[in-house]
Amino acid sequence: MARTTPGVTRQRIVDEATKLFGSNGYAATSIADIQQACGLTGGSGALYKHFPSKKALLDEIIRQHLSTITEGGRQAQELPEDPRAALPLIGRIVWDGMARDHDALRIVFRELDRFPELLEQMWDTVLGGIYVAATEWIRAGVDQGRMTVADPKATAAVLFASLTYYRILGALVGHTPGDVPEEAYLAAWTEHAVVTLGIEP
């Protein structure tokens, strides 16, 4: 059996479980599968030293995923004032966080209908961490005369839906919209956002 410090073992369990839940599904992944992926003896019960149940392990995976979203929201607070310079950075902040959580995204969209309380927690964090922040950023741009937008909330929803869809589709089916490369998609999204936000040249 592999010997590591308790903290490292716990995080390794989270990491390996995330991969297995993402690829095989939550129900199809056993405690023994996770232990073996960590280099632990399948029937040893070593996982229970760190998590009381498989559901508790899923809770921790989602907690860490939500932490990534929250961190992205903090990064977005340090954007440059010029919206043209800020837009590609916004795209990268969102995409980088979603790329780090590729397997967690698969779990969220494939499994969480079985766990409505986790889905609600997830949505509250996304709503507060992304859509509310984006709405406030657009509203501030309008107040400062940098943007011309009639409905900041709806505009934020449209822009972020098109941005996140790229990573979501990649996580779920292994393809991007139109199989367009990242840089080309982000450049097109940025130009579309400039027009949508009414940003002057």
What's phi and psi for 80, nearest 5 deg?
Answer: -65, 155
Q: What are the domain boundaries of the chain?
A: 1-52, 61-196
- Which residues make Cβ contacts (< 8 Å) with residue 168, sequence separation at least 6? 98, 105, 109
- Quote the tokens at residue 136: 């406030």
- Identity of the amino acid at 119: L
Q: How confident is the model at residue 72 (pLDDT cuts 50, 70, 90)?
A: low
Same fold, 1-52 and 61-196: no
Q: How confident is the model at residue 60 (pLDDT cuts 50, 70, 90)?
A: very high
Could you please state the CATH topology (level 3) that the domain comprising 61-196 is classified under: Tetracycline Repressor; domain 2 (1.10.357)
pLDDT at position 101 over 90: no
Contact 30, 59 (CB under 8 A): no
- Average pLDDT over the chain reads 86
Q: What is the pLDDT of residues 123-132, one digit of tens each?
A: 887 766 678 8
Q: What is the pLDDT of residues 110-145, one digit of tens each?
A: 887 888 888 888 788 776 667 888 898 899 999 999
Could you please state the CATH topology (level 3) that the domain comprising 1-52 is classified under: Arc Repressor Mutant, subunit A (1.10.10)
The Cα angle at residue 102 between residues 33 and 96, in degrees rounded to 5: 145
Average of per-residue pLDDT across 12-33: 93
- What b/e string do you get for 7-19 counting C-beta neighbours within 10 Å, with b at 16 or more? eebbebbbebbbb
User: Can you give the pLDDT at residue 8?
Assistant: 45
User: Can you give the pLDDT at residue 1?
Assistant: 41
